Structure 1
Amino acid sequence: MTTQPDRNARLGSGAHGRLRVLVLFGGRSSEHPISCITAAGVLNAMDPDRYEAVPVGITATGRWHGFEADPAHWNLPGGDLPQVPEPADPLALRCTERGGHDLVSVASGESHGTIDVVFPLLHGPFGEDGTLQGELEMAAVPYVGAGVLASAVGMDKHFMKVAFQAAGLQVGPWETITDRQWRGEREAVLERVAALAFPVFVKPARAGSSFGITRVAGAEDLVAAIEEARRFDPKVVVEAGIVGREIECAVLDGHGVQAPRASLPGEIVVHDGSGQHEFYDFQAKYQDDTAADLSCPADLPEAAIDTVRRLAVVAFDAVDAEGLSRVDFFYTPAGEFVINEINTMPGFTPISMYPAMWERSGLAYGELIGELLQLALERGTGLH
């Protein structure tokens, strides 16, 4: 018999036994501002009776900058994207003699208190790709989300697809272009990519938030699209367009030996009448709140809803994910689900797809944050 863990069993190091949660955001990737916006949502929703939030922004150069816990500072203001400024005295984690971890000023050595758990709200390379997770594993600090391997595989669209195929999931046709191939075998690359059915989507292999993605209708536009993707990542993936509706499902890890849980599936309906959004691009996601609506549960037959929830958990396990993930599928006119990708640290603002789907499934945003922190503490670090 599996018992539900006692949510109040662990006392934190903060005042009145609150857990001190290091909320990390920003980072070195092109998704830096999206991470800042996500942090604002999480800081707003954290229960101050249970958690003491310690916000730390990571600059574009990788330095840690401590801030007061004021989420309004990181909201998306009037179209300007937030950015973490360079600190005068950067911070770092330091092991204590008691086996804990203090946040300290690098220059002065001043302690800013012990950290119980880390909520790394970073997207893209140097945050979501296993690099930060490796640092936290080495420091033995519990953290929310996937570990090193799952983060790395989930960030690389090529290896992600290989893992999905090995798990028996249906994957659409694609080609991968490495930096060496593009610089040394360009004509051969263009020939094999042109063999895919147009339109195709040209994407940076290890980026998100729709940065650098181009829909290409014909071979004459491939070079420009590949060069645009290479501005964000020298490794590029080109995917054949799939005819179908885009269906997403949120997965939340289980406690102990319990299986991961899947939310009701959702569907983003892009209804922009101006023709500005050929797909659910960056502007539609973050800068145009009239461009799309979330339908959750998605308008699907009951059997299809059951199927996509089951397949989302298969995808979660295929990359050995932990904590949370959002899994994206295409639902074809033939009634089949073709997997598109998994996101091991999805957008987490209150209106983002991942928390919105859980909200519609009965788990409120603040409760979801509590679940993720509890899962991180239960798992700990190291091999398990």
Structure 2
Amino acid sequence: MKTFEQKLDDYAKLITKIGLNIQKDQDFIITAPVSAVEFIRLIVKEAYSLGAKEIYYRWYDDELSLIRYNNAPDSVFDTFPKWMAEGYTELVKNGAAVLSVFVSDPELLKDVDPDKIKRDTITKSNTFKEYKDYVMNGSSNWCVVSVPSIPWAKSVYKDEKDSEAVSKLWDSIFEINRINTADPIQAWKDHFEKLEKFKIYLNEKQFAKLYYKGENTDLTVDLPKNHIWQGGCEHTTKGLVFAANIPTEEVFCMPYKYGVNGVLSSTMPLEYNGNIIDNFKFYFENGKIVSFEAEKGYATLENLLSSDEASRYLGEVAIVPVSSPIYKTGLIFYNTLYDENASCHFALGSAYPNCIKNGENMTKEEREKAGVNDSIIHVDFMVGNDKLSIIGETESGEKISIFKNGEWDI
């Protein structure tokens, strides 16, 4: 049986070798909370052993963010230094690898003025738009992972003491990410092969529409011509293989921007900017959210949907079965990386250009004509459970069940 330290080492190896696939003489950007510094040291050692050249760090701390929101002059939420974004943009433009360690206290900012959070988020998103576009367009091999923090662990295991909650969350992360297997690297390669079969099927069918039926959900989603389903392994524009999320259980594509109609209801809470949005519902007409409801976090959701004009349109449609190891835990993680891989989901905002033929090389005007949404945001929200079914309709009008009661039906 592996020790905790051995599992940590295996997790670091999985991230650097499979998630990022670090190359010799490649620059490397790490965004992480200061609380994760010990684990980041393991990542850095592995990265250098694989030949990484220079490593650049972007540290953050939730408590410092809270202090800033409560004490900084109001003007700071409308400005952000361009030189910082330009520096990181230059790195990814030249193919630097990017690791984001996503750890958040789900309700840290619940008492902060929502307008400050909105302005701050829009300012930073606009400043880093070119950086984000290079990453999403496939210039870099990138990966998003999570490690426990006390606030996150306590949000999942509310009745446990701090240390026990963190220990249990580590156990869940190791199990979900196949670290407990004898050979996690091979286990992930086998997992990718399974996802590849679903991708191949959907790409061959080239469905024109998807019909979603579930609890309080009745939605029609048009897919653009020459769409491409992705999932598991991805490729940079130079052909480098990587996995953008660890964990990942999804097969995903983009909807046609103006072809979503009906009602879509959440099945899990969404953590966004230190706030929880829960039991929300969207009403779509010709791709746009024309009205919405939320039992919790209405103001936060309203601010999210007003990030820019395109934030009221969808950029991703993803299919995840309830046999996902994350769903099978029966837990809500209040962390989008984990919750989105427990459930079928959509994303508000930008689409991934590699989800349509030649999308990486299209101009902005060509993408708009093809129905590819472009926004300063990309926010996933969960809509799946064991009541959800999806029917695909081909160009000829044939309707085929592809997902039934939360499981693949192909």
TM-score, normalised by the number of residues in structure 2? 0.26
Structure with the largest fraction of helix: 2
Structure number with the bigger relative contact order (C-alpha 8 A, sep ≥ 6) is 1
TM-score, normalised by the number of residues in structure 1? 0.27
